[in-house]
Chain A
Amino acid sequence: MVEQRFDAIVVGAGPSGNAAAYTLAKEGLNVLQLERGEYAGSKNVQGAILYSDALEKLIPSFREDAPLERHVIEQRLWMLDDASYTGMHYRSEEFNEEKPNRYTIIRAQFDKWFSQKVRDAGATVLYETTVKELIRNTSGKVIGVQTDREDGAVMADVVILAEGVNGLVGQRSGLRDELKPDTVALAVKEMHFLPRDVIESRFNLKGDEGVVIEAMGSVTLGMTGTAFLYTNEESISVGIGCLVSDFKETGAKPYELLERFKSHPAIAPLLAGSEVKEYAAHLIPEGGYNAIPSLFGDGWLMVGDAGHFVNAVHREGSNLAMTTGRVAAETVVRLHRMRKEMTKANLAEYQERLEKTFVLKDMRKYRKIPAFLHGNKETLFGLYPRLLSKAAQTWFRVDGLDKKAKEKAIVSSFRQARTLRGMIGDAFKLARAWR
């Protein structure tokens, strides 16, 4: 296929692979990037919220030409029961800043743009090429990749695996295990198109302002999961995801769950009259810190979703992907410059560098959260949203009942559903997991 030998091969052209390939190429290394899709982004799915900071560290001027949809000025967090939502909204004029902090994006378009930047920086990018496995020398060091093209072997000093959540190349090359059903969420998503002005009036927006909604509660039928609705320029992204182990246990159909969410009285009017143009499904690594596989070895590094770098609580993934991709590449650049071998011992610098970034700090901080959410799913995703709604309704409904009696009714509805000891225990466990 390509005759040459490369300084580095990057497997995958999502945010982590693009960050890595871009950094390597810009520093003058001879880079080959391989992507199985027809174009970068053709296999990729995201909500999608882009966090500026991680991209700014790579391409400070990205706002000039990146396909950004809306900058986020309002975040809504909703707890749903079947008839209501209780929630928190935060909207600030301060988010209308010169360099906004968060944007909604459409991943297939964003990845194409990023991939062009990678090519402009000088990397060789081959699309429609699936990597089958890694090639090793007799001492076990990774020295290249085997692709599904004719004469499909290519050699390099180091291979960066940016292949996303499924991590098949890593698995089939014996670097990692298969994912466990309780460490990944399956998300389904639709793109709903509406005229710009309709979106703006429905969400009370002007110009490129945007709103994002995260929702939890009865919409996941007691499974560990959340739903979302994000405003784009002329479309709305709407989706829902739950742990694969919960889907397996309940036999819930993902697309029925999505329909249920879309027909919720809080959501349906926001989507009314829209034209659906795509239905997508994708996994999200949600096992947290404890599910992170080995990240480096002789001749290889793992970045992004392949390394299980997602902070599910804050719904951050693409920024961890870009940061790990960049840090891995910076490590390789430094070793290359010093003419050092890409051995396991030398590549350990990648993890050491990551320890100093928000990536591993946040992953470690929340290491107990996945087990907490999973272990308490009935109360967290079913009971509490219901109770909260009931309490709010009792409080706001004016029906001749005196306020003291109302307070009592609220307290006793909680106490009936969950003992005081249970509630204190839940709060305590959450606080401990959060710390």
Chain B
Amino acid sequence: MSTETDSVKVEEKLYYNRYVVDAGRPHVKVRPHEVPSQALLALTKICPAGCYALNDKGQVEVTPDGCMECGTCRIVCADTHDIEWNYPRGGFGVLFKFG
């Protein structure tokens, strides 16, 4: 069972959703770092929208366009202060049609 599900692409799931992206004003930012903390590394797996990824220098980057504003990353990194997290400006971000 696991082999077939390992290949699931979160991008395909996000494709169903509607977003109003606030261009140039990301609401989630990763603080500059040399080596990511364990918490920050965990986000590359547990963000439900797959917004976090490692770059080729081994640092964690975020692209919050597909963010569903759940808050998980902020809570996981609360102690390490790796993240700056805000709601998007009013009217921007994810727009659930069903929820």
Q: Hey, which bits of chain A sit against chain B, CB under 8 A?
A: 36-38, 41-46, 48, 82, 106-109, 111, 127-130, 147-149, 165-166, 168, 178-181, 184, 186, 188, 190-191, 235, 244, 247-248, 251-256, 259-260, 263-264, 276-283
B97 sits at the interface (CB 8 A): yes
B94 sits at the interface (CB 8 A): yes
Minimum Cβ distance to chain A for residue B90 (Å): 4
With both beta carbons as reference points, the residue of chain A lying nearest to B86 in the complex is identified as: A168
Minimum Cβ distance to chain A for residue B88 (Å): 8
Contact of B99 among A44, A82, A253 (CB under 8 A): A44
Top-5 shortest CB links A-B:
A128-B91, A107-B99, A281-B48, A279-B13, A128-B90
Complex CA distance for A405 and B90, rounded to whole angstroms: 66
Q: Within 8 Å CB of A130, what residues of B?
A: 87-90
A46 touching B70 in the complex, CB below 8 Å, given contacts A252-B45, A259-B8, A263-B1? no
Contact of A178 among B48, B70, B75, B94 (CB under 8 A): B75
Q: B99 contacts A252, CB within 8 Å?
A: no
With both beta carbons as reference points, the residue of chain A lying nearest to B49 in the complex is identified as: A281
Q: A279 contacts B16, CB within 8 Å?
A: yes
Q: B5 contacts A247, CB within 8 Å?
A: no
Q: Within 8 Å CB of B75, what residues of A?
A: 178-181, 184, 244, 283
Q: Within 8 Å CB of A263, what residues of B?
A: 1, 4-5
Mark each residue of chain B from 60 to 88: 1 if its CB lies under 8 Å from any CB of chain A, else 0: 00000000111110111010000000111
Q: Within 8 Å CB of A106, what residues of B?
A: 98-99
Q: How many residues of B contact A (CB 8 A)?
A: 41
Complex CA distance for A42 and B19, rounded to whole angstroms: 10
Contact of B96 among A45, A82, A181, A235 (CB under 8 A): A45
Complex CA distance for A178 and B83, rounded to whole angstroms: 13
With both beta carbons as reference points, the residue of chain A lying nearest to B20 in the complex is identified as: A38
Contact of B46 among A149, A186, A191 (CB under 8 A): A186
Q: Within 8 Å CB of A41, what residues of B?
A: 96, 99
Q: Within 8 Å CB of B91, what residues of A?
A: 36-38, 127-128
Minimum Cβ distance to chain B for residue A348 (Å): 29
Q: B99 contacts A45, CB within 8 Å?
A: yes
Q: Within 8 Å CB of B87, what residues of A?
A: 36, 130, 168
Q: B99 contacts A256, CB within 8 Å?
A: no
Complex CA distance for A44 and B50, rounded to whole angstroms: 20
Cross-chain pairs A/B with CB under 8 angstroms, 27 sampled: A36-B90, A38-B91, A41-B99, A42-B99, A43-B96, A108-B98, A127-B91, A128-B90, A130-B89, A166-B74, A168-B87, A181-B75, A186-B48, A186-B70, A191-B98, A244-B72, A247-B42, A248-B76, A251-B42, A252-B45, A253-B45, A259-B5, A260-B2, A278-B17, A280-B99, A281-B70, A283-B71
With both beta carbons as reference points, the residue of chain B lying nearest to A260 in the complex is identified as: B5
B10 sits at the interface (CB 8 A): yes
Q: A255 contacts B46, CB within 8 Å?
A: no
B6 sits at the interface (CB 8 A): yes
Minimum Cβ distance to chain B for residue A223 (Å): 11
Minimum Cβ distance to chain B for residue A317 (Å): 13
Complex CA distance for A188 and B45, rounded to whole angstroms: 14
Q: Within 8 Å CB of B99, what residues of A?
A: 41-46, 48, 106-108, 111, 278, 280
Complex CA distance for A188 and B46, rounded to whole angstroms: 11
Q: B78 contacts A251, CB within 8 Å?
A: no
Q: B48 contacts A277, CB within 8 Å?
A: no
Q: Within 8 Å CB of B20, what residues of A?
A: 38
Q: B90 contacts A256, CB within 8 Å?
A: no
B53 sits at the interface (CB 8 A): no
Q: B8 contacts A277, CB within 8 Å?
A: no
B35 sits at the interface (CB 8 A): no
Minimum Cβ distance to chain B for residue A77 (Å): 22
Minimum Cβ distance to chain B for residue A152 (Å): 10
Mark each residue of chain B from 38 to 58: 1 if its CB lies under 8 Å from any CB of chain A, else 0: 010010011011100000000
Q: Within 8 Å CB of B1, what residues of A?
A: 82, 260, 263-264
Minimum Cβ distance to chain A for residue B39 (Å): 7
Complex CA distance for A244 and B78, rounded to whole angstroms: 13
With both beta carbons as reference points, the residue of chain B lying nearest to A185 in the complex is identified as: B72
Of B45, B50, B88, the most chain A CB neighbours within 10 A belong to: B45
Contact of B95 among A42, A149, A247, A281 (CB under 8 A): A42
